[in-house]
Amino acid sequence: MAKIIYTHTDEAPLLATYSFLPIIAAYARTAGVDVETRDISLAGRVIAQFPDRLTEEQRLDDALAELGELATKPEANIIKLPNISASIPQLKATIAELQSQGYDLPDYPENPGTDEERETRARYDKVKGSAVNPVLREGNSDRRAPASVKNYARSHPHSMGAWSSESKTSVATMGHDDFRSNEQSVVIEGDDTLAIVHVGADGTETVLKEGLAVLDGEVVDATFMSAARLDEFLEAQVAKAAADGVLFSAHLKATMMKVSDPIIFGHVVRAYFADVFAQYGEQIAAAGLSANDGLGAILSGLDKVENGAEIKAAFEKGLAEGPALAMVDSDRGITNLHVPSDVIIDASMPAMIRTSGQMWNAAGEQQDTLAVIPDSSYAGVYQAAIDDCRTHGALDPATMGSVPNVGLMAKAAEEYGSHDKTFEIPAAGTVEVRNGAGDVLMSHDVEAGDIWRACQTKDASIRDWVKLAVTRARASETPAVFWLDETRAHDANLIRLVQRYLQDHDTDGLSIDVMAPADATAYSLERIRRGEDTISVTGNVLRDYNTDLFPILELGTSAKMLSIVPLMNGGGLFETGAGGSAPKHVQQLVKEDYLRWDSLGEFFALAASLEHLAGYADNERARILGETLDKATETFLNEDRSPGRRLGTIDNRGSHFYLALYWAEELAKQTDDADLAAAFAALAGSLRADEQTIVDELLAVQGKPADIGGYFRPDPEKAAAVMRPSATFNEALASL
C-alpha cells in the first residue's frame, strides 16, 4: 500500500494535526494510500533518548533516526510540520513537564561534573537546537509562493507600515574579526579523514574533533569570531543605541545555530548589563545561572540566591538606565534579551522591515531600532532591504513581484551543519584542521573565549543544487541569481564549482547570474517593485533568511509557502511553513478554546505529496486527490475561510471543515473516476446540508479553558476531544 508519513510535531501545528489528520486519512484511503505518523516532537525526541530509564509503555522508538534513513530511499514521502528547535530553557521546560507526567528523566546538567552527567548532557544535546531538519533534508530546497496564494495576496493585500526617509533604523555588524572575515575554505582532494586540533601556547595539543570523514570534492570551511572584538563591538552598539535614541535589539538564531549563537547571545546580555555583571557576575555564575540562557532565566533563578533581590534590583536599574530595549511582549515586560529563542533573525528582521522598520518598546509603541547582527556574513541583506524601503517607501503587496528560492541544504550543508564542530576556545593558541596525513589545511590563531567553527558542504549537494536551480529557472521562465560573494572564502570556492557545473546543463535562453548577497537583495527588490519575479539561489542560511524575508513582505507570512525538498535519491520531503507564532496560539487555545493557527501550508504540502506519490506509485486516484485539493485550496482562499482573529469566528478547526467541504465538492465534480466522484458526492452533499450545524458545534466550545493535558506532550485523547468537537462532522468523515 502506498504510504505518506505525516510528522507528529509540537505546539500549534501538533494541535492542528489532531483536527486535520482524520480528514487526510479518510480521503487518502479512497486512493489506497495509508497515512502514518512519526513522533519527532521535542518531547518525543527526549523520551527516545532514555529507554533505559522508562517503562515499556513509556518508551518510544527513535522516529527521527528512522525518518532520516527513509529520506535516503526512493519511496520516501514525508510531510514535515514545524517543530520546536529547542533552546536550553525550552528543553528544561520539556523535561520538567515529562517528569510531572511520570517519566523518570534526569535533570539537564548545566555544568556536568561526573561521567554520568556528561553522558546525560550528551543525550540531551542530541535533541537541542535544530536537531530535526539536518537529518531529514537529504535534498535541496525548492520554495515558492503558490499562484493561488500570490493572487490572493494581490487581491487582498496585507497591511504594510509606512517608511520615513528620516528613519534611524539600521543594522550594526562587526565587519572584521567575525566569522565572515576570518573564514578559510578548502576543496578536499580525495576521500579523507580530518582532525581539529587545538595547539596551546605551550605546544600542548588537544584534539577537539577527530574522525571527521570527508569526500572527494567536498568544501570544508573553518573560521572564528573573536570574543574580545565582539565585546568591544557590543559595547559600542549599546552606546550608539542610547545616543541615537533608538531601540537596542539583537538578532541571532540560537535555535539553528545551537552552539555558537547562545554564546553570542550571552555576550549581548553581558554587554547590555555590563555594570551588573562586573559587580555580581561571579555570584550569578556560582548559582549556575548563565547569560547564554537569557535575562529571563537569570531573573527566575535569582529567587534561590542569597542576595537575589539585590541583584534583581541591579538588573532593573540597568534596564532603566540603559538604551530602550526592543520588546517581545511589552505587556509582560519580556525584552529582546529575555530568552535566546524568542527573537529569531529570519522572523524578527522581516517583521521589523514590514512594520516601518520599527519594533515595539516598553510602552507598547513602535520605535526606530538598531538591529545588532554581530556576524557580517548576511547582515548586509537586511541593511540593503532597509535602505531600499527608506529610499522608496514600503513595498505594495498588491503589485509586487516574488522571490522564489532554491536553497543549498542537502546533507547539513554549510553553517547549519557546524554544531558538532563548533567550540568555545578554552585557552590561547592555534586551532588547526589537519588531513589524514597530518598536513595542516587551515589554521587560526585564537584567544580564550573565541568561538571557532568548521562546516562541510558535499560536492553531490552542490551539483544537485545547481541542477535544481536550472530546472526551476527553465520551468518558470524566471531569472535566477546565485547569491555568492567572491570576496568570501567559502563563496569563492562555490562560485568556481557553480560555473563548472552549469556547463553540465542546457542554459540557453536562461538568465543566470552571480551576485554578492547585498547586491542581489537590491537587484531583487528593484525587480519586485516592477512586479517581476527573481529566483534567489542561495546557501543554507540565506535559504532560511530569504524564505522568510520575501514571503513576509509579499504575503504577510512565510507559512503560506509551498516548500518541496526533492530528495537526492528520488523521494520527497514536503515542508509546511514556519512555526514562529505557534506558542502564542497554544496559549490562546488553553485559555479560551480558540486556535488561530493557519494550516494553509499543510494543504499545499499535502497536495504536492499526493502528486509525488501519484508519479512514484502510478496511483491515478492520488493524482486526482492532489489536483482537486489544489482547486479546493483556491476556493478556500477566495471564500476567506482561514482562521479568524477573534472569538465567534471560525478557528483552525473550522478552516479544516471548509477545506474538507470544498475538497469533497471538487472530487464530486471530477470526471476521471466515476466511483470516486460518487463517493464524494454523497459526502459533499451531507457536509453542505449540515454546514450550519457543524459550524455551530465548532463555535459552541469557544470562550472557556481547554484541557489538552500538557504543553510539550499533550494527552492524545484530551487533545483529540478538544480539536474534534463537532460530532456531526466526525460522523460524516466516518461514513466515507
Instruction: State the binding site for NADP(+).
Output: 80-85, 133, 580-581, 585, 596-598, 645
37 touches 622 (CB < 8 A): no
| b/e code 383-398 from CB counts within 10 Å (16+ = b) | bbbbbbbbeeebbebe
- One-character DSSP codes across 93-119: HHHHHHHHTT---PPP-SS--SHHHHH
Give me 290's grid cell: 548563565
Binding residues for substrate: 130-137
Phi, psi of 30 (to 5 degrees): -65, -15
In whole angstroms, give the CA distance from residue 279 to residue 296.
19
Three-state DSSP class for residue 166? coil
Give me 238's grid cell: 549599546
Evaluated on CA atoms 342, 346, 352, 354, the torsion sign reads negative
Question: 93: closest CA among 363, 623, 84?
Answer: 84
Residue with cell 587560526: 444
Three-state DSSP class for residue 258? coil
φ/ψ region of 570 (left if φ > 0, alpha if ψ in -120 to 50, else beta) reads left
Binding residues: 80-85, 130-137, 143, 346, 543-544, 548, 580-581, 585, 596-598, 645
What residues contact 248, with CB distance under 8 A and at least 6 apart? 237, 238, 241, 242, 272, 322, 323, 324, 325, 326, 336, 369, 370, 372
C-alpha distances (whole Å) from 667 to each of 20, 197, 732 are 18, 62, 16
Please count the helices (runs of H) and the strands (runs of E) in the chain: 26, 24
Binding residues for D-threo-isocitrate: 143, 543
Burial status of residue 263 (CB atoms within 10 A of its CB: 0-12, 13-18, 19 or more): buried
433 touches 196 (CB < 8 A): yes
Three-state DSSP class for residue 87? coil
